[in-house]
Structure 1
Amino acid sequence: MAVKSPLKWVGSKARLMPQLLPHLPKGKRLVEPFAGSCSVMLNAEYDEYLVADVNPDLIAFYEAVAADADALISRARHLFETFNSADGYYDSRHAFNHDDDPDWRPALFLYLNRHCFNGLCRYNKSGGFNAPYGKYKRPYFPEAEIKAFAEKARRATFICAGYSATLDMVRAGDVVYCDPPYLTDSENFTAYHSSGFDHIDHGRLSRRLKKLAAKGVPVVASNADLDAVHYLYAGFESVKISAPRSVGAAAASQKVAAELILKSPLFVGANEAGE
């Protein structure tokens, strides 16, 4: 069983860890420019981790867990026990969008994540969290997951930064794993923060990763199994996998989607974890 994140997250790699881990090369430090749920950090074994994301609320939550997990648990538990209703949710969402209290904001982020519809982290163009209420009878309180995260975070550095600035920090001995919002053939949802991530960003990211690979840095990336992705990562080995997808609340809505694990050519067939 994979170690689970405290957060629900669209595109989380938790259920894909058995397929992904064998393709992560050995190294001293894992660099992740797209933090997401941090499932890869939680399940991979490296001496150090550099975890980045452009979403300041996400990074602030992880930093709060790392700094004082017990304090965050206490505040979040109060919110879970007091505001488990539609009115409580929308009042809390309003407070989150209009109050910058550094002590309560990470706890509110967890509360919203666990009470909103499908754990959707969505913002409007003004940067306000706008995911609707999820109508759950009793949302799960992830105390055990928070404590496990705090333990692993002792080896991690969290930064709020875009992928370009994060990749500038790569050094000898690092392994880079990139899990960006996936490329789509349509205008499907890819905005995990107000800045979004479009086709141009995907092109720029693939060029940066190719440059790192040319310097001998082991690079692994995940993306959708699309012709455009194969084109962008020409020269990388592509491993096709089937990923479970939840597209609705009903069990019958469980689907599978084709994804790619893309591996820089220097490390194809060698130096992989477990060899």
Structure 2
Amino acid sequence: MPKVSIKSNKKLSNASAVTPTPYKSPLKWAGGKRRLVSNIAQWLPKKSTGRFIEPFVGGGSVFINLPYSNYLLVDSNPDLIGLFNALKSNKNEFLELAEPLFTPEFNQAEQYYSLRKEFNDCDKGLRRYALFMYLNRHGYNGLCRYNLKGQYNVPFGKYKRPYFPELEINRCHQQLQNAHLQSGDFSLAFEQAQPGDIIYCDPPYFPLGETASFTAYSGVAFSFDDQQRLALLAEDAQMKGVTTVISNHHLPATLSLYQNANKIVPLKVSRTISCKGSVRKPIKELLAIYKA
């Protein structure tokens, strides 16, 4: 395995240099990669006959903006995968259910908590996924969080006029026609990877401090053991002819985790998870490149 090299590139490290403006996800997503799509794409193989695979698809900003012929999209959150399946196969019916929820009548705390309870009580189906988008767009700061009982518990966001993302839904629908979706552990994606495939990973980030970890996204914590397991899977995939790119915080711990990568590309991005613009400041991230 080649030794890791840290490559600094001012052009690549500036997230604001992304052009043309990438398409937005239909979901608000903390840690979404829309502004980094060009940076990520520059480190992916230019020619590939394989699939583009995301083991942590999240809001989907990366696959929505990359023109591959086939996608394998995996996520541990079954509601997210259910939503994308609904947009893929039942877009018109989904729009009919979701759009009426984006009116002033439903942009009130009482209605929000009532619909949140309905979401937690209902089974799989288009109604649940329409409610998932409503909660995503009306909840606090675009967070997606569940308690230990698996109940969605993000509080009301108090937005003046939540946006209904019909244009973004239509774009996502088009991309999803060439996608296979699965809910489960990220290892499922690696198990199905074949030589020539490309994997991009955007896992829950290594915490900046002891209290900074964001692990309740699917109701299950993402541990240090999971971080190690991901790095080992990337190494194994490289040996099988699969290129893997991983995003994470730029820390001594992550540099150690990815010491067997071909390259570590530093990035400087603006933190957007805070609702206060005054405390959104650039932080260091990285891309670990395991080139096949």
TM-score of the pair, normalised by structure 1: 0.93
What are the within-5 Å matches in structure 2 for residues 114-263 of structure 1? 114-184=137-207, 185-187=209-211, 188-236=213-261, 237-263=263-289
**AA paired with 1:242?**
K
1:126-146, Cα deviation, whole Å (9 max, x unpaired)? 000000000011101100000
Partner SS for 2:97: helix
1:247 and 1:255 in contact (8 A); partners too: no
Percent same amino acid at aligned positions?
40
What are the within-5 Å matches in structure 2 for residues 29-178 of structure 1? 29-81=51-103, 82-100=105-123, 102-178=125-201
How far 1:265 moved relative to its partner?
Answer: 4.3
How far 1:248 moved relative to its partner?
Answer: 2.7
1:14 pairs with one of 3, 14, 34: 34
In the superposition, relative to structure 1, how do residues 172 and 229 fare at CA in structure 2: closer, same or farther (>3 Å)? Answer: same
1:28-56, Cα deviation, whole Å (9 max, x unpaired)? 21011001111110111211000000100
Alpha-carbon distance between aligned partners in 2 of 1:255 and 1:38, rounded to the nearest angstrom: 24
Partner SS for 1:240: strand
Alpha-carbon distance between aligned partners in 2 of 1:189 and 1:8, rounded to the nearest angstrom: 16
**AA paired with 1:8?**
K
2:31 and 2:272 in contact (8 A); partners too: no
How far 1:191 moved relative to its partner?
Answer: 2.2
Cα RMSD (Å) of the superposition?
1.2
2:266 and 2:286 in contact (8 A); partners too: yes
2:77 and 2:183 in contact (8 A); partners too: yes
1:66-86, Cα deviation, whole Å (9 max, x unpaired)? 012121111111112241110
In the superposition, relative to structure 1, how do residues 239 and 129 fare at CA in structure 2: closer, same or farther (>3 Å)? Answer: same
Partner SS for 1:128: coil
Moved more, 177-186 or 116-125: 177-186
Partner SS for 1:129: coil
Partner SS for 1:106: helix
**AA paired with 1:30?**
F
Partner SS for 2:288: strand
2:23 and 2:65 in contact (8 A); partners too: yes
How far 1:15 moved relative to its partner?
Answer: 1.3
What residue in structure 1 maps to residue 16 of structure 2?
A: none
1:246 and 1:253 in contact (8 A); partners too: no
Alpha-carbon distance between aligned partners in 2 of 1:41 and 1:265, rounded to the nearest angstrom: 19
| Stretches (4+) displaced over 3 A | none
In the superposition, relative to structure 1, how do residues 8 and 98 fare at CA in structure 2: closer, same or farther (>3 Å)? Answer: same
In the superposition, relative to structure 1, how do residues 78 and 18 fare at CA in structure 2: closer, same or farther (>3 Å)? Answer: same
How far 1:101 moved relative to its partner?
Answer: 5.1
Structure 1: gaps of 5 or more residues: 267-275
